[in-house]
Amino acid sequence: MLNERMVSLGTQRSVIRELFEFGKIRAAEVGADNVFDFSIGNPSVPAPAEVNETALKLIREGDPVSLHGYTSAQGDLEVRQKLAASVSSRFDFPVGPGNFYVSVGAAAALCCCLNGLCNPEDEVIVFAPYFPEYKVFIEGAGAKMALIPADIETFQIDFAKFEAAINEKTKAVIVNSPNNPCGVVYSEETVKKLGNILREKSKEYGAPIYLIADEPYREIVFDGTVVPYLPKYYENTLVCYSWSKSLSLPGERLGYVLVPDQVQDHDLVYAAVAGAGRSLGYVNAPVLFQRICAECADLTADVSVYEKNCNLLYNGLKELGFEVVKPDGTFYIFPRTLEEDDIAFCERAKDYNLLIVPGTGFGCPGHTRISYCVPTERVERALAAFKALADSYQK
Ligand code: PLP
């Protein structure tokens, strides 16, 4: 008898994968240029030149044995020293190498936190709309996901619903700002209130409720938006970061967990994160990219195309009558669908060669996610397809 949960996870094809396969079939029929695939969140800009230059330098000049050798389970010490220097200066928040657990992308960072913190029956609060893998990761850690419905007018936190959901089983809260799929950044007001509530509730229940800040989109923000650094607002915050989006390196699988000293019982929490990494086999993240990311930690790919695409889509969709909250960052936009049934809406969009993802999978029905990490000319041409789709609802 196999593990049924794993068999089921391994056999279910995600909606995004289905769309991807559909796109390939459609491209063969109508030509790849006429298919507007807005399904996947794969960065469309190259990594900064320094990334490849550093790779070449390390390969040519690095010690040929240690270049590909094991590091400490939690990541190379020199790498963690460089990351600590970068975080300390960028966020004016002092940290040291002992605060970092280098991981295989943000996904592994989240799993290390969740497995390290949670016991069976614990609850982890997530705000809709949310990255669908959170449920898989939380359940994989033996805990339960408690979902807070979205405030669809702003996509900030609905605090009344949040407070009502906290109970003695609440172990952690995951926040993702800038957010996949809606692109919204939590304001400083939201973050302050969140910290205050968590502090009060931790006191009330006599145990810390941890805040897990999932931040792979931190650097992709528009119009000067500032993303508050959450450990400054709530002491029991663990940061999960990756260079997948900011340096356009999703396939290289590099990120980290940051456990600041201020976290209650820091040494135990750090040990639990490291222990989870050990038990999951997430030790020694890929060594070449540990070193490259440490060298390039202060850089960001040229992400200006995302803001351009965002403005084009936002204005274009508004003109067509869509209701949509303006993203502050990422490369996603999350308009309301023109019919209540978002799955039917996205099916209909396929008739216009628009591949967009139903909001239901993000815990927010009645919406659709459009990933605009594509060339700008594709967004421009797609607006005619969105118009034809909108017109079909007038008939
Ligand atoms: N969290 C969010 C919100 C994401 O959108 C993603 C990837 O798309 C991840 C985590 C996983 O990131 P990584 O590829 O670094 O594992």
- pLDDT band of residue 17 (cuts 50, 70, 90) is confident
- pLDDT band of residue 283 (cuts 50, 70, 90) is very high
Q: How far does residue 187's CA lie from ligand 1's centre (Å)? A: 21
Distance CA 162, CA 175 (A): 12
Distance CA 362, CA 176 (A): 13
Q: Which atom of ligand 1 is nearest to the CA of 242?
A: 15
Q: Tell me, using a 6 A CB cutoff, whether residue 243 lines ligand 1.
A: no
Q: Which atom of ligand 1 is nearest to the CA of 250?
A: 14
Q: Are 342 and 368 in contact, with CB atoms under 8 Å apart?
A: yes
Distance CA 42, CA 196 (A): 35
pLDDT at 100: 98
- Please say if the pLDDT value at position 395 is more than 80: no
Q: Write phi, then psi, for 258 (nearest 5 degrees).
A: -110, 120
Q: How far does residue 199's CA lie from ligand 1's centre (Å)? A: 27
Sign, CA dihedral 208-209-212-213, equals: negative
Tens of pLDDT, residue by residue over 200-257, are: 999 999 999 999 999 999 999 999 999 999 999 999 999 999 999 999 999 999 999 9
121: exposed, middle or buried (C-beta count within 10 Å: 0-12, 13-18, 19+)?
A: exposed
- Please say if the pLDDT value at position 16 is more than 90: no
Neighbours of 160 (CB within 10 A): 10
Average pLDDT of the chain to the nearest whole number: 97
Q: Tell me, using a 6 A CB cutoff, whether residue 329 lines ligand 1.
A: no
- Please say if the pLDDT value at position 13 is more than 80: no
Q: Tell me, using a 6 A CB cutoff, whether residue 176 lines ligand 1.
A: yes
- Please say if the pLDDT value at position 113 is more than 90: yes
The total number of residues written for the chain in this structure: 395
Mutate to test the pocket of ligand 1, among 179, 214, 289 (most ligand atoms within 8 A of CB): 214
CA 60 to centroid of chain Cα atoms: 34
Q: Tell me, using a 6 A CB cutoff, whether residue 250 lines ligand 1.
A: yes
Q: How far is CA 329 from CA 37, 118, 165, 239, 307, in A?
A: 20, 31, 28, 19, 8
Q: How far does residue 337's CA lie from ligand 1's centre (Å)? A: 25
pTM: 0.97
